[in-house]
Chain A
Amino acid sequence: MKSQTLTYREALRIAIEEAMNADERVVLLGEDVGNYGGCYAVSKGLSETFGSNRIIDTPLSESGFVGAGIGAAIGGMRPIVEIMTVNFSLLALDQIVNNAATIRHMSGNQVSIPLVIRMATGAGKQLAAQHSHSFENWYAHVPGIKVLAPATVADARYMLGMALKDPNPVMFFEHVMLYNESAAIPMPEDCPDMCSALVRQTGTDISLVTYGGSLPKALEAARQLAQQNVSVEVIDLRSLRPLDTGTLFRSVEKTHRLIVVDEGWRTGSLAGELCALVAENCFWSLDAPPIRVCSEEVPIPYPKHLEDAVTPQVAKIVEAVLGLLKQEIVS
């Protein structure tokens, strides 16, 4: 069968459509998901197909409709809740952290919450300091929820369906710079489990670990470094909670070096957690200190040149890799 080429956005839409066709318990609710077609046009046309009873436009009440999604999941539905952007999800933080993440454990394992909460995340669209942040790590801090960050079109296509089959609350982060990416879609059996990290490119000199919107940048950096005879292994985490530490450790034990690229702020970042894990578990395999390439610690500014200066860019990643290797030669 000839593989289909889709954009990341289309892949998400098809995944939602497929899930809704397969299971009538699946509904989509969120701000402007219906008549408007979704703020990033992911759900465009779904309202016509499934009607307003299953594609539900909500008022601007993040806490209310995320909580309603949790309650509907408790009541036997399989809701997908869309939040326009990660910054707005903070209005629903109470429901996500105090209810979705806790109720199963707090109730003595009685209550199931099969729910997917999708949202756009990250910088790059010049949307300034209230629409561009990367708070995935805040959610990945919390036991009781799973946190996914599909970085490829194939993962957009298949991980959403896997998230919907999962009996746990799953946070699903879609980086804004990925929506227009396009690629050929593999067969579903070629898409591994949603909680496994993937080696996107094999290499021997250094492990470049990243996720979401930073993956294309890491791959481009690896391509440029190859021209300078540096062999980079690129790992895409895909799931930020749980973390596939096995894949991470195996790679570092092979390359002996780690750089983590993470669009979150450095202090308290997921990158910091990965470096700590590697330091604790692979210390004797390391030939160099683990390094973080993160966002500068300022709110994301509007002008393009400043926005680019804040977030990790290809040149910055290349520089970090070369700097680490050079440091070793010097020492």
Chain B
Amino acid sequence: MQTDISKKHTDINKIHMDIAHIKFLFKQMLRIRRFEEKCAELYTQEKIRGFLHLYIGEEAVAVGIMQALKPEDAVFGTYREHGHALARGLSMDKVMSEMFGKVTGSSRGRGGSMHIFDVEKQFYGGNAIVAGALPLAVGLALANKMQNKKNVVVCFFGEGAVAEGEFHESLNLAKLWHLPILFVCENNGYAMGTALAISESEQHIFRKAQSYGLAAHAVDGMNVVEVESAASQYCNSIRNGDGPCLLECKTYRFRGHSMFDTQLYRKADEVDEWKSKGPIKKLKRWLEANDKLSADELIEIEDEVAAEINQAIVFAEGSPLEEISDLYLGVYAEEES
């Protein structure tokens, strides 16, 4: 099932990926990785509280998918959505500030790690009810279709979500109404601590989608090029009016489900094995093997990423908390629209 990125060279050519773009993908993944490593640190310093679900190991999925989108396309994320948000182009300052619960955060600090929203970027959360965003994404795609907009709606969810009724209801509605929507299943093998094998009778998620008539297949979610290539093809087909698709991305989270997870449900060997084929490691190896990434260049990229993160922390630290007097702002709309 795992594909060596070097063997996908033909695919790279097929979608006209140049080295500059591949380096861009590398940097995007690294931004997310380093951002989250810093978040984990800030969590232990109690700067970030609540739940913190790290995306570490899964970066290729968000980064690959987002390349296929236009600014007017919409994205629905999960509660593990820092990667989705950063890859979608939300400012790291606003995302970090949201983690700190500051008013300059993307959701005024009210949502925290699990509820990052940015309507300007067509980024609709940040939903912490597993499968809860699927019907919303279907509805937005319905609205787009009714208004003759050619936009694509992308909805991310984990493989745990496919056990929820809302997954099945949403796929059925999407196909029934022939909606312009791409479902992206981030199959990291565990619904919190429950392995796929002990929760699903059919463990190929894409087959469930095929049973509803959606075009669907699985890709190596650790291979950003493969993810981008598949997402681009699906988005083209959706824009052509061919209806909904589902992409199953086989991936793995290197950290626990959240910061409270003692990981009793999996063996260290298994984690190590996946880490060895991590998305960043894999792409770095390929770039280096092809002499496309010098040591100096790598240092430069790392430095740029570190600077961006440091700036985001300075921004978040220096930002005010929301006034308690604004507590009721946005419970209801203030005036008729």
Contact = CB atoms under 8 A, between A and B. Distances in A.
Interface stretch (B129-137, B182-190, B253-261, B297-305): B129-137
A109 interface: yes
Interface string A100-118: 0001111111111010000
Contact of A108 (B105, B124, B331): B105
B329 A65 contact: no
B331 A105 contact: yes
Contact of B110 (A59, A65, A76, A108): A108
Contacts of B201: none
A168 B173 CA distance: 25
Interface stretch (A66-74, A203-211, A259-267): A66-74
A132 interface: no
B337 A73 contact: no
Interface stretch (B29-37, B163-171, B203-211): B163-171
A307 to B, nearest CB: 31
B2 to A, nearest CB: 34
A69 B146 CA distance: 13
A65 B125 CA distance: 19
B337 A167 contact: yes
Nearest to B166: A63
B143 A74 contact: yes
Interface stretch (A91-99, A245-253, A321-329): A91-99
Interface residues of B, number: 46
B147 A76 contact: yes
Interface hub of B125, B137, B139, B176 (most chain A Cβ within 10 A):
B139
Contact of B170 (A64, A166, A167): A64
A270 B109 CA distance: 33
Given A61-B172, A64-B172, A103-B125, A167 B336 contact: yes
B96 interface: no
B162 to A, nearest CB: 14
B142 A72 contact: yes
A106 B117 contact: yes
A249 B109 CA distance: 38
Nearest to B332: A168
Nearest to B169: A64
Contact of A109 (B118, B136, B329, B335): B329
Contact of B139 (A73, A111, A166): A73
Nearest to A75: B143
A75 B139 contact: yes
B107 to A, nearest CB: 4
A94 B169 CA distance: 14
Nearest to A92: B135
B139 A70 contact: yes
Contacts of A104: 330-333
A148 interface: no
B111 A106 contact: yes
Given A111-B119, A167-B337, A53 B129 contact: no
Contacts of B115: 106-107
A167 B335 contact: yes
Contacts of B119: 107, 110-111
A243 interface: no
Interface string B81-110: 000000000000000000000000111111
Interface hub of B110, B176, B330 (most chain A Cβ within 10 A):
B330
Given A71-B137, A98-B129, A167-B337, A53 B172 contact: no
B149 to A, nearest CB: 9
A328 to B, nearest CB: 40
Contacts of A112: 333, 337
Contacts of B142: 68, 71-72, 75, 77
Contacts of B173: 58-59, 61, 64-65, 68
Contacts of A68: 135-136, 138-139, 142, 170, 173
A112 B332 CA distance: 9
A165 B330 CA distance: 17
28 contacts: A64-B165, A67-B135, A67-B139, A70-B139, A71-B141, A74-B140, A75-B142, A94-B129, A99-B127, A99-B129, A103-B125, A104-B331, A104-B333, A105-B329, A106-B125, A107-B110, A107-B111, A107-B119, A107-B125, A107-B126, A107-B330, A108-B111, A108-B117, A109-B108, A110-B118, A143-B331, A165-B336, A167-B333
Given A71-B142, A111-B119, 17 more contacts: A63-B165, A63-B169, A64-B166, A68-B139, A68-B173, A71-B138, A71-B140, A74-B140, A77-B146, A94-B166, A99-B129, A107-B117, A108-B111, A108-B330, A111-B117, A146-B332, A166-B336
Interface of A: 27, 53, 58-59, 61, 63-77, 79, 94-95, 98-99, 103-112, 114, 143-144, 146, 165-168
List the 3 shortest-distance A-B pairs measured between CB atoms, nearest first.
A71-B139, A67-B135, A75-B143
